[in-house]
Each structure stands twice: as structure tokens, then as C-alpha cells.
Amino acid sequence: MIRKIPHLRWFIAFSLLFAAVLNYIDRSVLGLLANTIQKELNISNDEYATVVNWFLVAYTLAYLFSGRVVDKIGVRLSLALFVAWWSISNALTGFAQSLRSLSIFRFMLGLGEAGGFTASPKAVAEWFPPSERGVAIGLYSLGGALGAAIAPVLVAYIAGNPNLGWRWVFAVSPVLAGIWLVVWLWLYRSPAAHPRITDAELALLKPNIESSAEIAAAPKESEWLLWKGVFREPMVWRLMVARMITDPVWYFYQFWMPKYLQEARGLDQTGVAIMWMVFIAADVGFILGGFFSGRLIKRGGSAPSARLWVMLTSACLVPFSFLIPTMPTVMLVIVVAMLVCYAHTQWLTNMTSLVVDIMPKRILATSFGVIAAGSALGGIFMNKLVAAYINPQPIGTPSFLAGMSWADSSMTWLNAHRGYESLFIIMAFVHPIALLVIWTLRKRPSAA
């Protein structure tokens, strides 16, 4: 007789968490090793930004299509394929010998990593009732910040060992991924087909199962009509824009904050390990963001409204980022960065939950992929902006704007205000602007 597993959905949530941990360890180590790799491979700041952007270009493309892969072949197989691909790609990064090979391997990484964040919301939609989805999404999302917190310690230990060096950091990925894949393929099935689900949990998930059955029985849409439906949905575009302008804050803390601490605050490679504190604060934001919106739902509020109210508190906290350049000590810099990252991840948990709440299940992963593509597009723009702002060479007026007084004046202002300080000020405004974009979302029935 097959042994039943009580609260099986939470075991699945933890497996999604560990996948996100792997995802962010693999992603974060490049930023932590940036100065070391730049020196060894003779890569400038502009070229480093290009490497990161190749990752984000692939990430954008993968977001657009990985969601459709999830909707077509299911969560179990698609997530296994994504994890295997990105782990192999990250391992190859350790063999990079030039800007070209480094860019190719990070491009490959981006093709795989986006899939983790299109498959996971679909898994939550299958396995959790609406009141628990925020916590479940927060739980697996904190895996990102947890991975980013583990990465500095891992890098300091391995890269700082004279018998190993930075290339060995990338060897950790395939080993951990292999263990995860064995557990995942054994554990995950849809609720209706899982042999280890208890009767009580099956009853709890009955609405989800019935909804999935209706979708399976419905006439199949052509690919053209499905994509047309996604792109004609106004909420997809609003949420895409919101992620496009807010997610670059998170990318900055992953890819550029370690460089800021080294270049502007004088820390060495080992000292940058203090970033673990920032990412732990982000972990707390992922969990509490889901907890707070879940409490509002249990008190009778609609799921979308609950998400938006919690996002409002985040939009009030992120603007404190403008204080970072004024802080007299590194520890105070870290404290403010902790507050900003806490607020952003609380925001991100509820943004993701909002998508799960309002989008039809049959196109959930596809819609989420399109929305999340805005995140990667914003990251690409952010990387070019950061590289230009910290580059000692003046920024010239684009040739197609040459001679226009307003363009010349704008470039003069930008050159006079370059540096990390301006970037922290810009980041103070994006969440309030994004909230204005999405606050006008009208209530609609949950797609649960």
C-alpha cells in the first residue's frame, strides 16, 4: 500500500524553494566574482554589462516561450528540463576563457533560468487554494534571496581558497541540481493523479482539480488564438510595464551592489560577503508579503485587493534607497539596503500572486511568461544605464538627436550627475510609479 503524505502541497512548495535557491546561486555568483573575472579575462565595465545583458536577452526570450512550454507539457517535466539546462550552463561558465565564451555560457544560463519562474506559479495554482497562494509563492520566491545570500559565502570560501579559485565555484551547480532532480521527479504529480495525496488535501483542492478538468475537456484553441488572447489582455500589459520598471531594482542588488561596495566603499572580495544580510532581509519580505495578503483575504477581502494594499506599503518603503549614498558607514548602507530589498520582495510576492489570481489557468504560465519578460527587458536597460553612469567617459548625445538643444541639455545634466548616487535616487521612484500603473486594475473573478 502506498503511504500517504499529509500536507503534501507544502513539500512541493519546499521543492520549488530549493529550485529557486539553485537558480539564484547560479545567477548571483557572476556579480560576486565580477571584479576577479574582469581582471583575469581583461573585461571592462561596459563589456561586463554586455555579458549580463546577454543573460537578460536570453532570459527575456525564455520568459516569452517557457510559459507556453509549461502549459503544453506540464510542470513536472518542464521544470526538470529547465533545471538541468541551467545547471549545465552554469557549470560551463567555469571554463570561460574570453568575453565571447563567457557571454555564450551566460546566454545559455538565461535560456534555462526563466523557466523556473514560469513553472512555479503554475504549480502553486494547481496545489494551493487562493488564501494560501501568497505564502506558497513567497516561500519559493524567498529561495531566490536565500540563494543570493548563500552565494557570497560560497564564493568567499571557494574563490578565496588558493587551492581552488573562482572557476571551481561553478562546479557546485550540477551536483546540487542532480540531487534536486531525483527528488523532484519522485515527488511531483498533479493533485488528481498523485498517489500519495491524502483525502483531506484532495477535498481542499477539489475546486482546483475541477477547474483543471474543465480546461482539459474544453476544445483546444489554436496557438494563434491563444497568443492573441494573451496579448489582447490589458492586465498583461499593465503588469508587464510594472515589472519592467521595478524588477531592475532587484537586478541592481544582484549584479551591481557588490561592485558598489568594492568600488565606492572599499570592500574586498571577502568583505562583499556581507551582502548575505541584504538577501536574508529579502527572504523575510518574500514570506511576510504572502502572509500579510493572506491575512487580508481571510478577513474577507478579495485576493487582488489584498495584494495591492500590501504592494502599497512596499511602494512607501523602497524610496528610502536614496539614503544609501549618504550613509557614513558600510553597516548603515547594508541596513538601508536590507529595508529596500525587503520592500521589493514583499512587492514581488504580491505581484506574482496577483497574476495567479486574475489570469485564466489555461494560459496562466504563458501570461506569466509574457509579463515576466518585462522584468528582463527592464534589466537590460538598467545594465546599460548603470554601465554608462559609472563609466568615467562622458556620455555623448545620440547621433540621431545631435543638434537638438533639449537632447544636448539632457546629456549635459546626465554627465553632471553621473555615479552610483543618481542610480539610488532613480530607484526611489519606480515602485510608486508602477503602483499608479496597476492600481487601476478592475476587480474580476479569481481564475482559481
Cβ pair 241, 374 in contact under 8 A: yes
Where in the chain are the domains?
Answer: 8-388+407-438
**pLDDT reading at 370 higher than 80:** yes
* CA 123 and chain centroid, separation: 17
Q: What is the largest CA-CA distance in the chain?
A: 80
**pLDDT reading at 294 higher than 80:** yes
CA atoms within 13 A on the CB side of 174: 11
**pLDDT reading at 10 higher than 80:** yes
Determine the Cα–Cα distance for residues 83 and 274; give it in Å rounded to an integer: 28
* Range 24-51 burial, b when 16+ CB lie within 10 A, else e: bbbbbbbbbbbbebbeebebebebbbbb
Average pLDDT, the chain: 84
Give the pLDDT mean for 190-219.
Answer: 78
What is the structure's pLDDT at 341?
94
pLDDT band at 446 (very low <50, low <70, confident <90, very high): very low
What is the structure's pLDDT at 441?
55
411-444 pLDDT tens trace:
676 666 677 888 898 899 999 999 998 886 544 4
Most confident listed range (94-108, 219-233, 400-414): 94-108
**pLDDT reading at 217 higher than 80:** no
- Helix and strand numbers, DSSP H then E, in the chain: 19, 0
What is the structure's pLDDT at 161?
78
Determine the Cα–Cα distance for residues 291 and 20; give it in Å rounded to an integer: 19
Q: Which residue has the cell 525587503?
A: 342
pLDDT band at 220 (very low <50, low <70, confident <90, very high): low
CB atoms inside a 10 Å sphere around CB 386: 23
| More confident: 1 or 260 | 260
What is the structure's pLDDT at 264?
86
Q: Which grid cell is 58? A: 536570453
Q: How far apart are the first and last CA of the chain?
A: 32
Q: Which residue has the cell 572580495?
A: 269
Give the pLDDT mean for 286-314.
Answer: 87
- The CA-based angle 423-20-215, given to 5 degrees, is 110
Using alpha carbons, select from 119, 111, 120 the residue that is nearest to residue 59. 111
Cβ pair 352, 121 in contact under 8 A: yes
Helix boundaries (H) for 256-329: 257-263, 275-298, 303-317
113-153 pLDDT tens trace:
988 888 998 899 888 887 788 888 888 887 877 887 788 88
**pLDDT reading at 75 higher than 60:** yes
15-45 pLDDT tens trace:
999 999 999 888 888 878 888 888 889 888 8
Q: Does domain 8-388+407-438 have CATH number 1.20.1250.20?
A: yes
Instruction: Tell whether pTM > 0.75.
Output: no
Determine the Cα–Cα distance for residues 306 and 308; give it in Å rounded to an integer: 5
pLDDT band at 104 (very low <50, low <70, confident <90, very high): very high
Cβ pair 23, 178 in contact under 8 A: no
pLDDT band at 11 (very low <50, low <70, confident <90, very high): very high
pLDDT band at 364 (very low <50, low <70, confident <90, very high): confident
Determine the Cα–Cα distance for residues 373 and 214; give it in Å rounded to an integer: 29
pLDDT band at 395 (very low <50, low <70, confident <90, very high): low
27 Cβ contact partners less than 8 Å away, ≥ 6 residues apart: 55, 109, 113, 147, 148, 254
What is the structure's pLDDT at 12?
94
Cβ pair 108, 92 in contact under 8 A: yes
Q: Which residue has the cell 565555484?
A: 169
What is the structure's pLDDT at 442?
47
Indicate the residue type of 155.
Answer: V
**pLDDT reading at 178 higher than 80:** yes
